[in-house]
């Protein structure tokens, strides 16, 4: 694709010499841009959902400001249709990268916010392509149950990904008990599967594609464990740096329920069955 066919609101003045499609997830088109000033990364989506890229840009800037020891791409340009970011050259990984990541993530999670929810006090955010309610509240169990799990499960039921009985099972659960000991709102990545962590050619860890908000920090640990890709050293180094509350491993499935529901909505199949199994396990 030539530079002339790319979105003008994002590339005008960059003097793009070439644009090569690269992998960039399911939500946006992604390109490697070669310019006289260096390589850049473009992600864009025509008719993007309102606020989708604005929320991502806000998260990237917040992470970049607070994630000491972790790289976060600089937002060079943003618009309702996409972002231009600095280019990160991926490397093969390095010895100790997982441990470095765990320690640095623990440091990031020490950044405390005023309430659970949006970084800027807004209402709507996204987990993947799915809209989620980020209206701030001081009550984490309320936020997780009412603003995250209930709407996502209702969406999955309406699409036939889960049986109606799943809603009853969810309502029977004591969210206050399952959410664990109270903690202050932490700045989280919000969608921390292994694909949203990069290691560059120098062995430095980077965070990309955030869905950041103020949350219980265990949501990031649970997401790290959902699809694999993080070694045991990452979790051990995290816990050594910023010890987790007793029973955190028992809450992993609970905090994986939200991303499982998103995947059930988008893809159905085994994700719906797995989400149902999680709810059933806690309802016993």
User: Phi then psi for 35, rounded to 5 degrees?
Assistant: -130, 165
Domains in the chain: ranges and CATH: 3-86 (3.30.200.20), 97-283 (3.90.1200.10)
Could you read off the pLDDT tens digit of each residue along the chain, which spans 284 residues?
Answer: 444 478 999 999 999 999 999 987 668 899 999 999 999 999 999 889 999 999 999 999 999 999 999 999 999 999 999 999 999 999 987 889 999 999 999 999 999 999 999 999 899 999 988 999 999 999 999 999 999 999 999 999 999 999 999 999 999 999 999 999 999 999 999 999 999 999 999 999 999 999 999 999 999 999 999 999 999 999 999 999 999 999 999 999 999 999 999 999 999 989 999 999 999 999 98
How far is 259 from 128, CA to CA, in rounded Å?
9
Has 191 been annotated as catalytic? yes
CB 24 within 8 A of CB 30: yes
> Global pTM?
0.95
From the list 191, 209, 220, 253, the catalytic residue is 191
CB 149 within 8 A of CB 222: no
DSSP the chain: --GGGS-HHHHTTS---EEEE----SSSEEEEEEETTEEEEEEE-TTPPTTHHHHHHHHHHHHHHH-TTSB---EEEEETTEEEEE---B----TTHHHHHHHHHHHHHT-B-SSBB-TTS-SEEEETTEEEE---BS-HHHIIIIIIIHHHHHHHHHTTSS-THHHHHHHTS-HHHHT-S----EEE-S---GGGEEEBTTS-EEE-S---EEE-THHHHHHHHHS--S-HHHHHHHHHHSPPPTTGGGGHHHHHHHHHHHHHHHH-THHHHHHHHHHHHHH-
């Amino acid at each position: 694709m030539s530079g002339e066919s790319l979105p003008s609101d994002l590339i005008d003045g960059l003097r793009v010499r070439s644009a090569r499609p690269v992998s960039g997830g399911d939500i946006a088109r992604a390109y490697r841009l070669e310019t006289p000033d260096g390589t850049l990364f473009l992600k864009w989506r025509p008719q993007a959902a309102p606020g989708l890229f604005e929320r991502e840009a806000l998260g990237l800037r917040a992470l970049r400001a607070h994630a000491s020891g972790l790289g976060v791409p600089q937002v060079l340009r943003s618009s309702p249709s996409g972002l231009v970011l600095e280019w990160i050259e991926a490397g093969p990984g390095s010895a100790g990268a997982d441990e470095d990541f765990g320690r640095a993530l623990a440091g990031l999670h020490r950044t405390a916010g005023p309430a659970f929810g949006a970084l800027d006090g807004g209402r709507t955010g996204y987990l993947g392509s799915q809209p989620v309610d980020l209206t701030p509240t001081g009550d984490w169990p309320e936020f997780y149950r009412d603003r995250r799990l209930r709407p996502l499960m209702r969406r999955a039921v309406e699409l036939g990904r889960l049986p109606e009985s799943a809603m009853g099972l969810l309502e029977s659960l004591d969210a206050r008990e399952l959410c664990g000991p109270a903690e202050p709102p932490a700045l989280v990545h919000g969608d921390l599967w292994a694909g949203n962590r990069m290691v560059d050619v120098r062995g430095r860890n980077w965070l990309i594609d955030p869905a950041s908000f103020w949350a219980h920090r265990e949501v990031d640990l649970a997401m790290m464990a959902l699809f694999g890709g993080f070694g045991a050293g990452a979790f051990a180094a995290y816990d050594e740096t910023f010890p987790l509350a007793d029973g955190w491993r028992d809450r992993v499935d609970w905090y994986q329920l939200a991303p499982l529901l998103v995947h059930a909505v988008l893809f159905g199949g085994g994700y719906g069955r797995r989400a149902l199994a999680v709810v059933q396990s806690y309802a016993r």
